[in-house]
C-alpha cells in the first residue's frame, strides 16, 4: 500500500450494529489504495453521558484525549490506524 500523502485524510465508517458497516469496510478494503483498520466499537465504549466531550470550553482537547485513550487489543486505537 502506498504511504499516505499530506493531504490524505482518514474516512470513518460509522453505524449501528447490524447496519452493514462491516460489509462496507470489507468491500472498500479490496481496493489496493484503501486500508481498513479493525473495528473499534467506538460507540459501545462511550461513557453514559458523552456530552462533556463536546463542551466548548474543552473542545477539542477533551474529545482528542478520549479518542487517544481508546485501546484495541492493548494498542491505542489511533496507532492501529497509523496515526500518532
> Which pLDDT score is estimated for 27?
93
CA distance 45 to 66: 10
CA distance 57 to 33: 38
Question: Is 71 within a domain?
Answer: yes
Question: Is 15 within a domain?
Answer: no
Give the model confidence (pLDDT) of 21-61 as tens digits: 999 999 998 998 888 877 877 777 777 887 777 778 877 78
Domain count along the chain: 1
> Which pLDDT score is estimated for 4?
58
Residues 71/40/68/10 CA torsion (nearest 10 deg): 140
Give the residue ranges of DSSP H helices in the chain: 21-29, 61-69, 77-80
Closest by Cα among 82, 80, 4 to 42: 80
> Which pLDDT score is estimated for 81?
64
Question: Is 43 within a domain?
Answer: yes
Question: Is 12 within a domain?
Answer: no
Query: Which residues span the domain enclosing 60?
Result: 21-80
Sign of the CA dihedral with 14 first, then 16, 22, and 28 last: negative
Q: Is the pTM of this model over 0.85?
A: no
Amino acid at each position: 500500500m502506498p504511504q499516505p500523502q499530506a493531504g490524505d485524510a482518514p474516512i470513518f465508517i460509522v453505524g449501528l450494529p447490524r447496519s452493514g458497516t462491516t460489509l462496507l469496510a470489507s468491500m472498500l478494503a479490496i481496493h489496493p489504495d484503501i486500508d481498513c483498520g479493525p473495528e473499534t466499537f467506538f460507540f459501545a465504549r462511550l461513557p453514559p453521558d458523552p456530552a462533556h466531550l463536546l463542551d466548548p470550553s474543552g473542545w477539542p482537547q477533551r474529545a482528542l484525549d478520549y479518542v487517544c485513550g481508546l485501546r484495541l487489543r492493548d494498542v491505542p486505537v489511533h496507532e492501529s490506524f497509523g496515526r500518532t
